[in-house]
Amino acid sequence: MGVRPERVASEMREHISRIISEEIKDPRIGFITVTKVEVTPDLRNAKVFFSSLGGKDEKEGAFEGLNSASGYIRKLLGERMRFKFVPELLFRLDESTEYIIHLNEIFDKIHREKEDKG
Protein backbone atom coordinates (compact mmCIF):
# COMPACT_ATOMS: atom_id res chain seq x y z
CA MET A 1 0.00 0.00 0.00
CA GLY A 2 1.34 3.41 -0.94
CA VAL A 3 1.45 6.53 1.17
CA ARG A 4 -1.91 7.89 0.01
CA PRO A 5 -3.97 4.73 0.68
CA GLU A 6 -2.33 4.43 4.11
CA ARG A 7 -3.16 8.04 4.94
CA VAL A 8 -6.73 7.63 3.66
CA ALA A 9 -7.14 4.39 5.63
CA SER A 10 -5.97 6.06 8.83
CA GLU A 11 -8.33 8.99 8.40
CA MET A 12 -11.19 6.65 7.48
CA ARG A 13 -10.61 4.60 10.64
CA GLU A 14 -10.98 7.73 12.77
CA HIS A 15 -14.14 8.89 11.01
CA ILE A 16 -15.76 5.43 10.95
CA SER A 17 -15.03 4.94 14.66
CA ARG A 18 -16.62 8.28 15.46
CA ILE A 19 -19.64 7.61 13.24
CA ILE A 20 -20.26 4.20 14.80
CA SER A 21 -19.88 5.39 18.38
CA GLU A 22 -21.83 8.64 18.04
CA GLU A 23 -24.37 8.24 15.27
CA ILE A 24 -25.31 4.59 14.80
CA LYS A 25 -28.17 3.63 17.11
CA ASP A 26 -28.48 -0.07 16.16
CA PRO A 27 -28.69 -2.09 19.41
CA ARG A 28 -26.92 -5.03 17.76
CA ILE A 29 -23.70 -3.08 17.40
CA GLY A 30 -22.97 -2.48 21.09
CA PHE A 31 -19.37 -1.69 22.03
CA ILE A 32 -16.99 -2.20 19.12
CA THR A 33 -13.55 -0.92 18.23
CA VAL A 34 -12.41 -0.28 14.68
CA THR A 35 -8.95 -1.80 14.76
CA LYS A 36 -7.76 -1.27 11.20
CA VAL A 37 -8.86 -0.15 7.74
CA GLU A 38 -7.23 -1.46 4.57
CA VAL A 39 -7.91 0.48 1.38
CA THR A 40 -7.25 -0.81 -2.12
CA PRO A 41 -4.77 1.27 -4.19
CA ASP A 42 -7.62 2.61 -6.37
CA LEU A 43 -9.52 3.66 -3.20
CA ARG A 44 -12.66 1.82 -4.38
CA ASN A 45 -12.88 -0.74 -1.56
CA ALA A 46 -12.03 -0.66 2.12
CA LYS A 47 -11.89 -3.57 4.55
CA VAL A 48 -12.89 -2.32 7.98
CA PHE A 49 -11.65 -4.61 10.75
CA PHE A 50 -13.41 -4.38 14.10
CA SER A 51 -13.33 -6.13 17.45
CA SER A 52 -16.35 -6.61 19.65
CA LEU A 53 -16.89 -7.55 23.25
CA GLY A 54 -19.14 -10.46 24.06
CA GLY A 55 -19.78 -13.94 22.83
CA LYS A 56 -20.38 -15.36 19.39
CA ASP A 57 -23.98 -14.10 19.20
CA GLU A 58 -22.98 -10.52 20.09
CA LYS A 59 -20.19 -10.55 17.51
CA GLU A 60 -22.50 -11.87 14.80
CA GLY A 61 -25.07 -9.23 15.75
CA ALA A 62 -22.44 -6.50 15.54
CA PHE A 63 -21.34 -7.79 12.13
CA GLU A 64 -24.94 -7.80 10.86
CA GLY A 65 -25.59 -4.35 12.32
CA LEU A 66 -22.49 -2.87 10.69
CA ASN A 67 -23.32 -4.42 7.33
CA SER A 68 -26.86 -3.09 7.64
CA ALA A 69 -25.55 0.42 8.41
CA SER A 70 -22.76 0.40 5.80
CA GLY A 71 -24.69 2.59 3.34
CA TYR A 72 -25.39 5.20 6.02
CA ILE A 73 -21.77 5.08 7.20
CA ARG A 74 -20.58 5.55 3.58
CA LYS A 75 -22.92 8.53 3.17
CA LEU A 76 -21.57 10.24 6.30
CA LEU A 77 -18.00 9.33 5.32
CA GLY A 78 -18.52 10.98 1.93
CA GLU A 79 -19.71 14.15 3.66
CA ARG A 80 -16.69 14.27 5.99
CA MET A 81 -13.92 13.26 3.59
CA ARG A 82 -13.36 14.46 0.04
CA PHE A 83 -13.62 11.44 -2.22
CA LYS A 84 -14.29 11.20 -5.91
CA PHE A 85 -15.86 7.84 -5.07
CA VAL A 86 -16.58 6.77 -1.49
CA PRO A 87 -15.05 3.32 -0.99
CA GLU A 88 -17.30 0.30 -0.60
CA LEU A 89 -17.05 -0.79 3.05
CA LEU A 90 -16.46 -4.46 3.79
CA PHE A 91 -16.65 -5.20 7.52
CA ARG A 92 -14.50 -7.99 8.95
CA LEU A 93 -14.31 -9.26 12.52
CA ASP A 94 -10.76 -8.87 13.85
CA GLU A 95 -10.04 -11.78 16.14
CA SER A 96 -6.35 -11.00 16.65
CA THR A 97 -6.99 -9.56 20.12
CA GLU A 98 -8.74 -12.74 21.20
CA TYR A 99 -5.88 -14.79 19.78
CA ILE A 100 -3.36 -12.76 21.78
CA ILE A 101 -5.42 -13.25 24.95
CA HIS A 102 -5.58 -16.99 24.25
CA LEU A 103 -1.79 -17.16 23.78
CA ASN A 104 -1.24 -15.24 27.02
CA GLU A 105 -3.45 -17.72 28.87
CA ILE A 106 -1.39 -20.60 27.47
CA PHE A 107 1.87 -18.91 28.48
CA ASP A 108 0.51 -18.21 31.97
CA LYS A 109 -0.50 -21.85 32.33
CA ILE A 110 2.95 -23.02 31.23
CA HIS A 111 4.59 -20.57 33.64
CA ARG A 112 2.41 -21.78 36.56
CA GLU A 113 3.18 -25.42 35.77
CA LYS A 114 6.89 -24.63 35.68
CA GLU A 115 6.68 -22.90 39.07
CA ASP A 116 4.73 -25.83 40.56
CA LYS A 117 7.43 -28.30 39.42
CA GLY A 118 10.34 -26.10 40.45
The radius of gyration computed from the CA coordinates of the chain, to the nearest angstrom, equals 18
Extract the runs of DSSP E, i.e. beta strands, from 1-118. 32-39, 45-52, 88-93
Mean pLDDT (the chain) is 90
pTM of structure: 0.80
Mean pLDDT of 37-46: 94
pLDDT digits (tens, 9 = 90+) for 69-112: 999 999 999 999 988 889 999 999 988 777 778 888 898 888 88
Q: Is 2 left (phi over 0), alpha (psi -120 to 50) or beta?
A: beta
Range of the domain at 95: 3-117
Whole-angstrom Cα distance, residue 20 to residue 27?
11
CATH number at residue 61: 3.30.300.20
What is residue 43's DSSP assignment?
S
Number of domains, the chain: 1
Q: Is 29 helix (H, G, I), strand (E, B) or coil?
A: coil
